[in-house]
Structure 1
Amino acid sequence: MIAELLRSQPEIALFASLALGYLIGSLKIGPIQLGGVCGTLIVSLLLGQTGARLSPDLKNVAFALFIFALGFTGGPQFFANVGRGWRYGVLSIVEIVSVLILVMLAVALLHLDPGTAAGLLAGAATESAVIGTASEAVAKLGLPDADTLRLQANIVTAYSVSYLFGLITIVLFTSQFAALLLRVNLREEAERVWRKLGGGDSLGEGERLAAPALVGRAFRVGRAAGVTVSGFEAQYGHSLTVEQIERGGAPLAVAPGVMLAADDLVLIGGRREALIEAAPSLGEEVASGHHFSTALAEMVDVVLTRKDAHGATIRQLRERADPEQGRGIYIAAVTRLENRVPALPGTVLNRGDVLTLVGAKADVLRGAQRLGYLLPATLKTDFVYLGLGVLVGMAIGRLSGTFGGVTLALGTGGGCLLSGLLFGWVRSFHPIVGSLPPAAAQILKDFGLATFIAAVGLSAGPDAIKLVHQYGLALPVAGILLVLVPGLLSLWIGRMFLKLDPPMLLGAIAGQQCSTPAISALVGVTGNSTPVIGYTITYALSNILLPLMGPVVVGLAAHVRG
């Protein structure tokens, strides 16, 4: 009865795969969490035994939207990190080259077919997008339909088997074993790096919330009497601002040349450490008896596009700014590829970063105008730009060529990925066109990928058990090696030659594997978010380069097998 219902209404199988898959993926054992995509794949493989199938057209549309959105959101960061983030970029190259060599060794030793080889790459590298680009490449091999479906099913099965072992390996390697090999205490190293970047004493997330980095406090002027507003702010490196003044119970307009007088009530906003340093010279702190409104009340998100800000630290950005133009503007948070990077004085900014500016309304709007553009609060998507981008991607995907006897074709997935990169990068220069709100981009990525995975999982169900029986433990072992070998190489190269700090290095290794669970576990071990700095750079690069390896592995494996 149930099998017949799923066959007659495959949309039930789709949403059952999504619901149950994400439920399974949300379960957590220690630092290990499968995630919704892997959970969806497991459920769809089981439901595929009933014979339920989704339309290939739905599968193709879902993957095109996912891969375009992936490229679109990662475009600015990808191009920003290609040049200036070269030390971390080396690690992404190590990942690409080493996994490609290892996969081809597995093809030769285990006699893997192109589908199983591509699935091994996708699973061990925990990069689900490879499934789509490799599936399209298999379809272009010119094989009979039955063989094409079998190889595509093998991609999914090999992915599901190697993913679990690859995930466990990268989480344990970055958060536990690598520190033993380096002979360092990760928490102490992370604290040292935090201080080097200009952070204070508080490391843990809870500690930072209890003692916020940006504060506002009211004082009755004492020793600071006779000092101008601009002179007082300059004494503390413009890390604090005189926001409001009351003199004799009446508000006084704040201007750089205004001189503070004894018994003035002043509202000071700025960085906590600067206020702590300035407090003794100001006078007595007051909690009532004034008419001040809240300091640092306005908060806006700004996409950084200014050329001379790319590659500069937050400290350098403030030092370069004209004191009057930069007055009262504070960077409270830096978001890069949906990850929070610590907003410390030594943090390097990249084009495409989202900066959360805090201050008075006029100040933050002035800062937004000088740094980039306000992240629009719109919920509307520019479907002209989106549709054109996908069409351009499909056109690019039709390109193919033969290199050294190996036929390579990007397919719709690879084409839309490159198109998304280009369209996202262009929009970072011309933000008035191509609106794709972050929430809309996220649903395109999440729903598009999950739907695609459910579709291929349902079609692969009957062949999954055969492949597991055929290779046994070979695929799990290969999956573990595909994580350990690149990880060990990157660890050695990163410390011996690139001289990267351990927290950032291990974050970069998690990023080169595109592993969100690994960076989450690593941040938990280090006690602060310094590993995220390395993670975002390699994640941006590997998230683009690994899917492009899908067609390469399929082409090479097909050539090797003759």
Structure 2
Amino acid sequence: MIGELLKSQPEIALFVSLAIGYFIGSFRVGPIQLGGVCGTLIVALILGQTGARLAPDLKNIAFALFIFALGFTGGPQFFANIGRGWRYGLLSVIEIVSVLVLIMIAVSVMRLDIGTAAGLLAGAATESAVIGTASEAIGKLGLGDAETLRLQANIVTAYSVSYLFGLITIVLFTSQFAPLLLRINLRDEAERVWRKLGGSGAFGEGQRAAAPALVGRVFRVGAAAGVTVYALEQRHGFNLTVEQLQRNGADVPVDPQLPLAAGDLILVAGRREAVVAAAAGLGEEVDGAGFGQVFAEKLDVVLTRRDLHGRTIAQVRDQAKPEEGRGVYIAAVTRLESTVPALPGTELNRGDVLTLVGAKADVERGAKRLGYVLPATQKTDFVYLGLGVLVGMAIGHLGGQIGGVSIALGTGGGCLLSGLLFGWIRSRHPLVGSLPSAAAQILKDFGLATFIAAVGLSAGPDAIKLVREYGLALPLAGILMVLVPGLLSLWIGHVFLKLEAPMLLGAIAGQQCSTPAISALVGVTGNSTPVIGYTITYALSNILLPLMGPVVVGLAGKVG
């Protein structure tokens, strides 16, 4: 009876897969969490035994929206990291080349069909988007309907089997085994790097600093009498600002050339370490009940200046003229929806979202110098979105032969490239193409989950056959496809590229596109230094790996 209901109303099977799948995926065992996508796939494979099927058109639309949004949000960082972040980018190249070689070895040794080979890539690399691009590539081979469906079902089954083992392997490798191989205490090393970047304390993701990085304190001028406002601020590297001044009970306009007088009450704001260092030379600290809130304004600004790409926060402040940078502080750096520690030694990339804090006039002046203010809009530009997807579909028709191997991009590859281009254009011309981050996240989450549920339902009957055929070979292959690239990257990154261990391990998690791995790393290190390496390789691998779907299908067909 349930089977007949699901067959007659497959939309029920879709939302049951989403609801139960995300519920299963929310459970965590130590650092391991399946996630909603994998949970949805498992439930869909089970429900697929009933014969419930979703229309292919729904599957294609969902995947097109997901892959376009993926490219759109990653476009600015992808282009920003090409060339300049070459040391980390090299790790993504190692990932791509090594997994392709290992896949071809597995095809030859295990006699894998092209669907199973592509699913092994998607699962071991924990990159779900490969399922879509590889499925489309198989659909363009001109095979019979039954054979096409069988091979596409094998992608999903091989993915589901190898994903779990790949996920466990990358989490344990980055957070536990790699530090042992490097012979380091990862928490101590992360704290050392944090302080090297200019941090005065370590705190983990999800935690708030007991002593905030930006503070405002009120002093009664004593030892600093006779010193001008400009000289005081210059003495501390312009990391603090005299925001307000009262003399004999009356407010006095703050002018950089104004000398401080004994008994003046001054509100000093800025980086905590600078204010603490200045306190002894200022005078007695008072409660300052008569002063207003200094950090009254907060603006999110997209960094667009080419000359600031790759510069640290401290270098950006040093480069700015005092009258331009005065009173402007970077409180947070967001990169690819991850928060990067906003320390003096943190390097900035074009496309980063900088949260500026300070007085209203100061942050507005700083925003004009750095880039453009991120509009606080909830509206999506559907003209831009629709045009982008159409351009992607047109690009998807392109294809050809490379070395005798037929490669077709398909809608997935085309929409990914189109999303990259349209996202990059949006970052340069913010008045067009609004796609708020929350809307983009919905497109990615719902689009991918719907696509995964659709392919899982159609693959259900063939899943058991493939598992019986290969047994433990697929899980073992998935583990090797994580360990070999991980060990290569660890060796090259440590010995030749001289990358700091927390950033190196974060980059290895990023080259594997593994969010659970970076979460586990942040938990082990106690601060967010691994995120600095993670964002670069994640941006590159998240784009390059899906493009490998058609390549694996072409190569596996040739080798097999």
Please give the TM-score of this superposition, normalised by the length of structure 1: 0.99
State the alpha-carbon separation in 1 of the partners of residues 115 and 213 from structure 2: 51
Q: Secondary structure at the match of 2:266?
A: strand
1:27 aligns with 2:20: no
Runs of 4+ in structure 1 displaced over 4 angstroms? 204-208
State the alpha-carbon separation in 2 of the partners of residues 206 and 304 from structure 1: 25
CA-to-partner distance for each residue in 1:221-272, whole Å, 9 max, x for gaps? 1111111111111110000001111111111111211221111111111000
**How far did 1:428 drift?**
1.2
Residue 238 of structure 2 contacts residue 322 of structure 2 at CA under 8 Å; is this kept in 1?
yes
Residue 517 of structure 2 corresponds to which residue in structure 1?
518
CA-to-partner distance for each residue in 1:253-311, whole Å, 9 max, x for gaps? 112112211111111110000010000111111114x4211121211111111111111
**How far did 1:130 drift?**
0.2
CA-to-partner distance for each residue in 1:137-176, whole Å, 9 max, x for gaps? 0001110000000100000000000000000000000000
1:403 aligns with 2:405: no
Q: How do 1:162-173 residues align onto structure 2 when only pairs under 5 Å count?
A: 162-173=162-173
Residue 279 of structure 2 corresponds to which residue in structure 1?
279
Distance 1:434 1:528, change over 3 A: same
Q: How do 1:58-457 residues align onto structure 2 when only pairs under 5 Å count?
A: 58-204=58-204, 209-288=209-288, 290-457=289-456
**How far did 1:205 drift?**
5.3
State the alpha-carbon separation in 2 of the partners of residues 480 and 69 from structure 1: 30
Residue 468 of structure 2 corresponds to which residue in structure 1?
469
State the alpha-carbon separation in 1 of the partners of residues 285 and 555 from structure 2: 71
State the alpha-carbon separation in 1 of the partners of residues 364 and 49 from structure 2: 57
State the alpha-carbon separation in 2 of the partners of residues 413 and 217 from structure 1: 54
State the alpha-carbon separation in 1 of the partners of residues 205 and 220 from structure 2: 33
Q: Secondary structure at the match of 2:301?
A: strand
Letter paired with 1:133: T
Aligned residues: 560
**How far did 1:206 drift?**
7.7
Letter paired with 1:142: G
State the alpha-carbon separation in 2 of the partners of residues 405 and 205 from structure 1: 49
Structure 2: gaps of 5 or more residues? none
CA-to-partner distance for each residue in 1:199-219, whole Å, 9 max, x for gaps? 113444587520110011111
CA-to-partner distance for each residue in 1:506-542, whole Å, 9 max, x for gaps? 0000000000000000111111111111000000000
Distance 1:215 1:514, change over 3 A: same
Letter paired with 2:214: L
Residue 204 of structure 2 contacts residue 522 of structure 2 at CA under 8 Å; is this kept in 1?
no
Letter paired with 1:168: I
State the alpha-carbon separation in 2 of the partners of residues 184 and 208 from structure 1: 27
Distance 1:53 1:204, change over 3 A: closer
State the alpha-carbon separation in 2 of the partners of residues 330 and 254 from structure 1: 18
Letter paired with 1:119: G
Q: Secondary structure at the match of 2:177?
A: helix
Letter paired with 1:156: V
Q: Secondary structure at the match of 2:242?
A: strand
State the alpha-carbon separation in 1 of the partners of residues 186 and 504 from structure 2: 11
State the alpha-carbon separation in 1 of the partners of residues 504 and 319 from structure 2: 30
State the alpha-carbon separation in 2 of the partners of residues 206 and 114 from structure 1: 42
Distance 1:548 1:204, change over 3 A: closer
Q: Secondary structure at the match of 2:82?
A: helix
State the alpha-carbon separation in 2 of the partners of residues 427 and 206 from structure 1: 30
Which stretch of structure 1 is more off in the superposition, 125-134 or 250-259? Answer: 250-259
Residue 381 of structure 1 contacts residue 440 of structure 1 at CA under 8 Å; is this kept in 2?
yes
CA-to-partner distance for each residue in 1:358-409, whole Å, 9 max, x for gaps? 0011111111111111111110111111111111100000001012221100
Residue 336 of structure 2 contacts residue 539 of structure 2 at CA under 8 Å; is this kept in 1?
yes
State the alpha-carbon separation in 1 of the partners of residues 502 and 318 from structure 2: 27
Distance 1:204 1:410, change over 3 A: closer
State the alpha-carbon separation in 2 of the partners of residues 108 and 404 from structure 1: 19
Q: Secondary structure at the match of 2:310?
A: coil
Residue 202 of structure 1 contacts residue 208 of structure 1 at CA under 8 Å; is this kept in 2?
no
CA-to-partner distance for each residue in 1:41-63, whole Å, 9 max, x for gaps? 00111111111111100000000
Letter paired with 2:219: F
Q: Secondary structure at the match of 1:294?
A: coil
1:11 aligns with 2:7: no
State the alpha-carbon separation in 2 of the partners of residues 541 and 201 from structure 1: 31
Identity %: 80
1:458 aligns with 2:457: yes
Distance 1:102 1:206, change over 3 A: closer
Residue 202 of structure 2 contacts residue 526 of structure 2 at CA under 8 Å; is this kept in 1?
no
Distance 1:204 1:144, change over 3 A: closer
Letter paired with 1:469: R
Q: Secondary structure at the match of 2:292?
A: coil
